[in-house]
Amino acid sequence: MGLPLTSGPVAVFLVLEHGAGFAAAAATGSLAGTVAQTAFCLAYVAAVSRGWPVALGAGATAFVATAAALQRLALAPVALEVGAFAAIALVLLVMPRGAAARPAPPPPRWDLPARMLITTVLVVVVTGVAATLGPRLSGLIATFPVYAAILTIFAHRAGAAAAAQVLRGLLLGLFAFAGFFVVLGNALERVGVAAAFALACAAALVIQAGSFVLVPRRRGVG
């Protein structure tokens, strides 16, 4: 879930409609969104024992509050690049590891079509109002963890520990997410659109592969 499956397509349309400079600035906004996603994870876990509606509300509120604060601060790109990775690492340290969770029930048949619809709507809406919102806010809004919220709720049906494990996995994936936008933001105006996206995707995949080292392996019973 940490891969930019919604914000990546938004970035493509932003560069096609508004140019490389606009999309590069939006990438900086997406880095601010990375920090806001870590706040989402932390707040959801803090409220996880109260049921998924309350936990989801807490996570969404934390995302919005953090995003609004970072938008107001308008930090320099370098500060956001460092801050994004630092926030992921810090929240991972304080996230509960928990005991092994029961397997989550399979998602309903409408799950995948719903995610496709939500993603399409998000891409269309953000790109449609991007000129009004500005590049940073457009990139930030595109990072709201839609997939993470849906899958965490499904996992939550199997218990709080399962939901926490999903969010811990999201945090590990956010290293690749942040790497994607660090490379994209720095490369778009230097090497061109196609090369920038290729480099960003390569960076995300390499970082994601490295993140798997941090994922505990299940031991089989023999």
pLDDT at residue 112 tops 50: yes
Domain ranges of the chain: 7-100+110-213
169 Cβ contact partners less than 8 Å away, ≥ 6 residues apart: 1, 2, 215
Rg of the chain over Cα atoms, rounded to whole angstroms, equals 17
How many DSSP H helices and E strands does the chain contain?
9, 0
Tens of pLDDT along 29-70?
999 999 999 999 999 999 998 888 999 999 999 999 999 999
Q: Which of 49-58, 65-74, 111-120, 129-138 has the lowest mean pLDDT?
A: 111-120
Beta strands in the chain (DSSP E): none
134 Cβ contact partners less than 8 Å away, ≥ 6 residues apart: 25
Tens of pLDDT along 180-219?
999 999 999 999 999 999 999 999 999 988 877 766 554 4
Q: Integer distance in angstroms from the first to the last C-alpha of the chain? A: 31
Query: Shortest CA distance to 168 belongs to which of 215, 129, 107?
Result: 215
